[in-house]
Structure 1
Amino acid sequence: MEFLLVTPQVRPGVALIQLNRPKELNALNGQLVEEIRDALLLLDNDDAVRVVVITGSERAFAAGADIRQMAGKSAIDMFTDSRFATLEQIRRFRKPLIGAVSGFALGGGCELAMTCDMLVASETAQFGQPEIRLGTMPGAGGTQRLVRAVGKVRAMEMVLTGEPISAHEAHRLGLVNRVVPVGQYLEEAYRLAASIAAMSPVAARLAKESVNRAFETHLDEGLHFERKNFYLTFASEDQKEGMAAFLEKRKPEFKGR
């Protein structure tokens, strides 16, 4: 892949995807978005991978969409562009996905970060939707996921002024899980990923589905979905192993079956 570096086993059970367009601050052009999608599809089908960490560089996770690709396009050009369908495929990645964010996560970069299940940020991270300053607005989830993460009034201010928020404010508002010094953000993401990779992969996928469903439906339907997934875990070998290990006071050995 031209714009990605992929390490399938950066830690046991943990894969790393690193955006690699340094001159453009990892701006998201069509090819980069497709490469992220393709890498996730491969890792989704790799049984040795249980969790994926996606990151950029210390200077920028992703500084936004590639404006040079978009500036001259018409409404029909954008309507027929496949990048939004590709981003939807990224969102549907089944395994836990952790974003390790440092520096700029703006526009499409912020939207990509918000497709992750968890976020670890360095103290230099900035999250924002500055599209209003270019005469447009977020189009890849920025007006929807941001509201769910930080609330309506704060999201409205960010979207209508284009002003970013700091890593510490993002943590206070619930957009990121934790903030660490810049030299530690990737290792902290690995630690979080390793703790999840030690769990049952079957249970982790079902639990991820259930948590995500809470954002997409009303409570009664969400509870019904959760209960069905809970029942389904009892068809797995991992559930039998996990409960047997608890009763036998030993560490479980989950196989993902």
Structure 2
Amino acid sequence: MGFIVHLNPNLGDHEHIKAEKRGQKNNVGFIQLNRPKALNALCDGLMKEVSQVLDEFEKDKEIGCIVLTGSDRAFAAGADIKEMQNQTFSKVYGGNFLNHWNRVAECKKPVIAAVNGFALGGGCELAMMCDIIYAGEKAQFGQPEISLGTIPGAGGTQRLIRAVGKSKAMELILTADRINAQDAQSSGLVSKVFPVDQLVTETIKQAEKIASFSKLTVAMCKEAVNAANEMSLREGLHFEKRVFHATFATDDRKEGMSAFVEKRPAKFTDS
């Protein structure tokens, strides 16, 4: 398979997910959604477990990248409708329902979604919270909330338009139509498409590559790219320049450039 699995005893047992460390250098955090009977429907308990594991992975100095996946049949078929069915406006508004689901997007380390099967509703939104999306060739993406009398509530109306543009986002959200992996790639939602049985392996390879670089520089780079969604071009360029300048205060910038000039592999120390 090209990688070694290492279980981290500190991650503990979880009801709705599996979590471990993977990679030849034990430097990839791996989270697998594990509600097979519900096609990995996203209940509140599952998302809380994901948040807890992300906290642990962020603290772990070995881990440089995180992979989030489901099963071959479903990444996540949506939010748990049974859990939402009898909610009331006062409860969801007063309790700020789904607010903590944004934890994946706020992770300081890069998160790659490896999507096989269904990524619908909350599942599509969860994938879009990740920094990169890779898909198996049979994956399906969609925001079918309108068919349930509601709208996307975990970022679908905001992130989808940034990924695929207004017309495509409107079409998907207003029709509840699904798109396949190939269309998702051509529209910019997905970066790469792999055979179903190779998706996780190939995603871990990419995660290992990211984890091989300076974790400090990777975090700075992620912050700068994400800023582009929040700022004007002028503001973004200024922010980028300041972060670029800040890399000159790091040991890893010195090491990276020295290694290039000396034609040797860099040995980053994340400092």
| Aligned: 1:43 with 2:57 | yes
Cα distance in structure 2, aligned partners of 1:142 and 1:88: 12
Moved >6 Å (runs of 4+): none
User: Does the residue aligned with 1:92 lie in a helix, a strand or coil?
Assistant: coil
Cα distance in structure 1, aligned partners of 2:99 and 2:23: 29
Cα distance in structure 2, aligned partners of 1:20 and 1:81: 26
Per-residue displacement from partner, 1:8-65 (whole Å, max 9, x unpaired)?
2344221100001110011000000111111111101110000000000000000000
User: Percent same amino acid among aligned pairs?
Assistant: 49
2:18 corresponds in structure 1 to 5
2:11 corresponds in structure 1 to none
- Which one is further off, 77-86 or 201-210? 77-86
Cα distance in structure 2, aligned partners of 1:106 and 1:142: 10
1:230 corresponds in structure 2 to 244
* Equivalent residue for 2:235, pick from 221, 226, 234: 221
Deviation at 1:82, TM superposition (A): 5.0
1:202 corresponds in structure 2 to 216
Q: Which amino acid aligns with 1:181?
A: P
RMSD (Å), alpha carbons: 1.1
Report how many aligned residue pairs link the two structures: 257
- Which one is further off, 228-237 or 131-140? 228-237
Deviation at 1:192, TM superposition (A): 1.1
Contact 2:104 2:130 in 1 (8 A): no
1:34 corresponds in structure 2 to 48
Contact 1:10 1:16 in 2 (8 A): no
2:98 corresponds in structure 1 to 84
- Which one is further off, 206-215 or 191-200? 191-200
Contact 2:23 2:208 in 1 (8 A): no
1:74 corresponds in structure 2 to 88
TM-score (norm 2): 0.92
Evaluate the alpha carbon distance shift between residue 123 and residue 59 of structure 1 in structure 2; reply closer, same or farther with a 3 A threshold: same
1:106 corresponds in structure 2 to 120
Evaluate the alpha carbon distance shift between residue 83 and residue 204 of structure 1 in structure 2; reply closer, same or farther with a 3 A threshold: farther
Question: Any unmatched runs of 5+ in structure 1?
Answer: none
Deviation at 1:210, TM superposition (A): 0.6
Cα distance in structure 1, aligned partners of 2:139 and 2:79: 17
User: Does the residue aligned with 2:60 lie in a helix, a strand or coil?
Assistant: coil
| Aligned: 1:14 with 2:40 | no
Contact 1:200 1:255 in 2 (8 A): yes
Evaluate the alpha carbon distance shift between residue 82 and residue 49 of structure 1 in structure 2; reply closer, same or farther with a 3 A threshold: farther
Contact 1:98 1:189 in 2 (8 A): yes
TM-score (norm 1): 0.97
* Equivalent residue for 2:131, pick from 117, 120, 138: 117
Cα distance in structure 2, aligned partners of 1:80 and 1:233: 43
| Aligned: 1:65 with 2:79 | yes
| Aligned: 1:134 with 2:144 | no
Matches within 5 A, 1:138-177: 138-177=152-191
Q: Which amino acid aligns with 2:47?
A: V
Per-residue displacement from partner, 1:91-114 (whole Å, max 9, x unpaired)?
110011100000000000000000
Question: Any unmatched runs of 5+ in structure 2?
Answer: 1-13
- Which one is further off, 234-243 or 45-54? 234-243
Deviation at 1:81, TM superposition (A): 3.5
Q: Which amino acid aligns with 1:80?
A: G
Evaluate the alpha carbon distance shift between residue 86 and residue 10 of structure 1 in structure 2; reply closer, same or farther with a 3 A threshold: farther
Cα distance in structure 1, aligned partners of 2:138 and 2:56: 31
Deviation at 1:84, TM superposition (A): 2.6
Contact 1:9 1:49 in 2 (8 A): no
Contact 2:108 2:219 in 1 (8 A): yes
